[in-house]
Structure 1
Amino acid sequence: MKKPEGAWALVICALGWSLGGVFLKYVNVNSFAIAGLRSTFAFLVMAVFTRQLPHFYVKDEASGKVDRAQTIYLWLSALSYAATMIMYVISNKLTYAANVIFLQYTSPVWVILFSAIILGEKNRKIDYITFAGIAVGMVLFFADSLMENQSGEFAETALLGNTIAALSGVTWAATTLFQRKQQLLIAEKIRETGKIPSHNTSKDAFMLAQIITASFGLPFIFLMERGVPDLRSLTFLLLLGLLQMGIPNIMYSIGIKKVTALSASLITMIEPLMNPVWVFLFVHEIPTVKCIVGGVIILGFILLREFVSKKR
């Protein structure tokens, strides 16, 4: 029987993640600078809470030499997650927060397509059904933009914002695939040597991603008109680093060890469900009907795949 604190850790994680959309609406800073400052605060939070700094390479426990394959996938994972964070911030400034989070959750499509190539895993019939369902949901997201049937604040930027959000789904899938590949390599090493790695490579990848994003985004502060963020922007940037990125990532690393993969997938669905709710309550931003229907279709097919996979 699973310990209840694992599930609660994931609930806290998902609720924290879901605050990104509403917090970003209160930050009056260019998108790259937002990404850089948020990751700076998130890195500091993770370092303080875990009392650890990331490893920049993976050492072979048997020989003591650098494991090149694992190190490559460590950095590919970190770079993919950094790209995801940057595009998440940019797209939130260009389109509806609900659009961003639902389109980011199209990542299973790309996992399905590339898992056979990168991981050598075979796809099943339910995978292709999920792919078709998510494709329908994505078409609905872009329908208004393509048919020029939008009006309001995001009418001119929605197509670009939706496109970047969809690309963030690709990079998030790449993060998942590269981390999974690394875990397969670790399992192979354990079978060969019987030695368990001394550090958590997934945590390393997430912390390295914060460093990469911060290094990329912080120089854009100098392009700001006022030179520094105003008090409101700085407050919400701190909240983004603490409540939306730092603590949730720590909670995820705790919770994922204590519940099944299916339970983790279902619990973290709180994020795409609550993200538009917070934005509606505090910013009064309402996405189009097509976008809402598209999001429901995407989540529905992802949940269907999880249930069928668990049953098998």
Structure 2
Amino acid sequence: MSITQMLRAQGLDRVQGRVLVVVAGILWSLAGVFIKLLALHPLTIVFYRSLFAALFFSLFIRRQRWTLSLPLFASMASYTAAISSFVWANKLTTAANAIILQYTAPIFVFVFVRLLFREPIKRLDLTTLLFGMIGLAIIFSGNRGGADAEGVMVALLSGFLFSLYMVNLRFLRRLSPAFLTFMNNLACSLILLAVVKSLHLSWREAVALLIMGVVQLGIPYFLFSKGLETIPVQEASLIVLIEPVLNPAWVALAVGEIPSQATFVGGGFIVGSLAVRYLWLALHRPIPPKAPRGPSY
């Protein structure tokens, strides 16, 4: 079968959707390189990245009715804490440890959903949880002592906090994702404004942080959202797992940082278990019945 025939068989829209999600994953994976190359305090990086991202999203959000609520406050707080701990972890340990442990968030979600909403953990999710715990144990065993151990703990904290953010989204479904992302980044920059000690930037640092806010965070959000219009979320979640693979690869090329063997093995368990889960869900996704065709005139 030729490439043209394959595209027609799968539907050009679906292929374009996959390409958009791939590009989004690639752009998201650049975070580690920027964080490593910028000689700035982690909270300074988070402040400017969120500020520029909020300005970017403000150009596209639609006016909608909203009120300050406990779930919205929880979203702002958990988002700010999660991305701050992620950037901080990148300064303390390898980019591989930081991004892989951030991807433990879906594993924590399984537990929280069970505890908070009394929803049963499916066998597939339980298997993912068990293999994820094995991966965590391997990473911790290979990163004991020194700043690396502290960085691993902070990175795991970022995964935990992101899981809280993800679970809290259940209470904010009436808000558009773009509006919520704008509010979270705006709140993050305002919160950190009172914490950041120095706001001074060189022009190169300002350009790099602008790129982080717009190109590395803002644009891929829209690409991913557009891709979800033509491909299922399970498939998109599987594709975007290129982020924890590419992130440490870019850092290795840029600054020569090589992850430990324990990170390779443990990360394989975590990312691999998530990949198997999303692949299983994508392959076993129920096919909606076709609408009956009416008479052609």
The reply to whether residue 179 of structure 1 matches residue 179 of structure 2 is no
- Equivalent residue for 2:28? 17
- Equivalent residue for 2:190? 215
C-alpha change, 1:37 and 1:121, in structure 2 (3 Å) is same
* C-alpha distance in structure 2 between counterparts of 1:88 and 1:53, whole Å: 31
Q: Deviations over 1:196-244 (max 9, x none)?
A: xxx61x22221111012101223444x23xx612233222211111111
Deviation at 1:83, TM superposition (A): 1.7
* C-alpha distance in structure 1 between counterparts of 2:140 and 2:164, whole Å: 23
1:144-223 pair list within 5 angstroms: 144-146=142-144, 148=145, 156-183=146-173, 200=176, 202-221=177-196, 223=197
The reply to whether residue 297 of structure 1 matches residue 272 of structure 2 is no
C-alpha change, 1:157 and 1:165, in structure 2 (3 Å) is same
The reply to whether residue 57 of structure 1 matches residue 29 of structure 2 is no
- Equivalent residue for 2:114? 116
* C-alpha distance in structure 1 between counterparts of 2:20 and 2:73, whole Å: 27
* C-alpha distance in structure 2 between counterparts of 1:53 and 1:289, whole Å: 49
* C-alpha distance in structure 1 between counterparts of 2:180 and 2:138, whole Å: 34
* C-alpha distance in structure 1 between counterparts of 2:117 and 2:58, whole Å: 31
Deviation at 1:53, TM superposition (A): 6.3
SS at match of 2:143: helix
* C-alpha distance in structure 1 between counterparts of 2:89 and 2:256, whole Å: 18
Q: Deviations over 1:269-305 (max 9, x none)?
A: 1111110111011111111111111111101111122
Deviation at 1:181, TM superposition (A): 4.4
Tell me if structure 2 keeps the 8 A contact 1:34–1:237.
yes
* C-alpha distance in structure 2 between counterparts of 1:90 and 1:53, whole Å: 34
Amino acid at match of 2:111: L
Tell me if structure 1 keeps the 8 A contact 2:61–2:179.
no
* C-alpha distance in structure 2 between counterparts of 1:169 and 1:46, whole Å: 24
* C-alpha distance in structure 2 between counterparts of 1:182 and 1:119, whole Å: 16
C-alpha change, 1:11 and 1:253, in structure 2 (3 Å) is same
Deviation at 1:82, TM superposition (A): 2.1
Deviation at 1:54, TM superposition (A): 7.5
- Equivalent residue for 1:5? 16
- Equivalent residue for 2:76? 78
Tell me if structure 2 keeps the 8 A contact 1:137–1:295.
yes
Amino acid at match of 1:38: R
C-alpha change, 1:248 and 1:54, in structure 2 (3 Å) is farther
* C-alpha distance in structure 2 between counterparts of 1:72 and 1:285, whole Å: 41
- Equivalent residue for 1:274? 246
* C-alpha distance in structure 2 between counterparts of 1:301 and 1:54, whole Å: 39
Q: Deviations over 1:155-189 (max 9, x none)?
A: x3111111111111112112221213444xx5xxx
Alignment equivalent of 1:257, drawn from 229, 234, 239: 229
1:32-51 pair list within 5 angstroms: 32-48=43-59, 50-51=60-61
Q: Is there any run of 5+ residues in structure 1 with no aligned partner, and where?
A: 59-70, 149-155, 187-198
Structure 1 vs Structure 2: percent identity of aligned residues?
Answer: 30
Tell me if structure 2 keeps the 8 A contact 1:107–1:172.
yes
C-alpha change, 1:55 and 1:242, in structure 2 (3 Å) is farther
SS at match of 1:157: helix
RMSD, aligned CA:
2.2
Amino acid at match of 2:271: L
User: What is the number of residues matched between the two proteins?
Assistant: 273
Q: Deviations over 1:65-119 (max 9, x none)?
A: xxxxxx4334323332222111111111111011100000111221110112334
* C-alpha distance in structure 1 between counterparts of 2:232 and 2:67, whole Å: 29
* C-alpha distance in structure 2 between counterparts of 1:31 and 1:228, whole Å: 14
Amino acid at match of 1:252: F
SS at match of 2:58: helix
State TM-score, norm by structure 1.
0.80
Tell me if structure 2 keeps the 8 A contact 1:81–1:206.
no
C-alpha change, 1:247 and 1:142, in structure 2 (3 Å) is same
State TM-score, norm by structure 2.
0.84
